[in-house]
Amino acid sequence: MQEHFFGCKCGCLQHVTMISFDEECGEVYVETFLNHYLPLWQRIKTAVKYAFGHKSPWGAYDCTIFKDNDVPKLISLLERARRITEQPQNNATGAQG
């Protein structure tokens, strides 16, 4: 599995996004750091609510603004994934001969 790191235009290390690419099946995984701005007790309260099924209407996410020089790298990665997933699969049980 190949890992590619993309930093944010703002330069904040907490906005780094890691994109992993599995060349065998063409799957792309995106991982983003989730910030924890709240004090400890508020985070514990949020965790307990989450454990009991409460869902925030806003979710728990942050963002990354891709740098201009990272865009071609991202496009290349996604095009490679598309080529792999669009390849005809050899199905041994359905082969006609």
Total domains in the chain come to 1
Alpha-carbon gap, residue 94 to 97, rounded angstroms? 10
* Among 40, 38, 34, 41, residue whose Cα is nearest residue 59: 34
**Residue at 97 is within a domain:** no
Confidence (pLDDT) at 7: 87
Report if pTM > 0.85: no
Domain assignment of residue 46, given as a range: 2-86
Alpha-carbon gap, residue 69 to 51, rounded angstroms? 40
**Residue at 67 is within a domain:** yes
Strands 17-22 and 27-32: antiparallel
Confidence (pLDDT) at 26: 83
**Residue at 94 is within a domain:** no
Q: Mean pLDDT in runs of 10 for the chain (97 residues)?
A: 87 84 86 74 83 74 83 91 78 44
Alpha-carbon gap, residue 32 to 76, rounded angstroms? 20
Confidence (pLDDT) at 96: 45
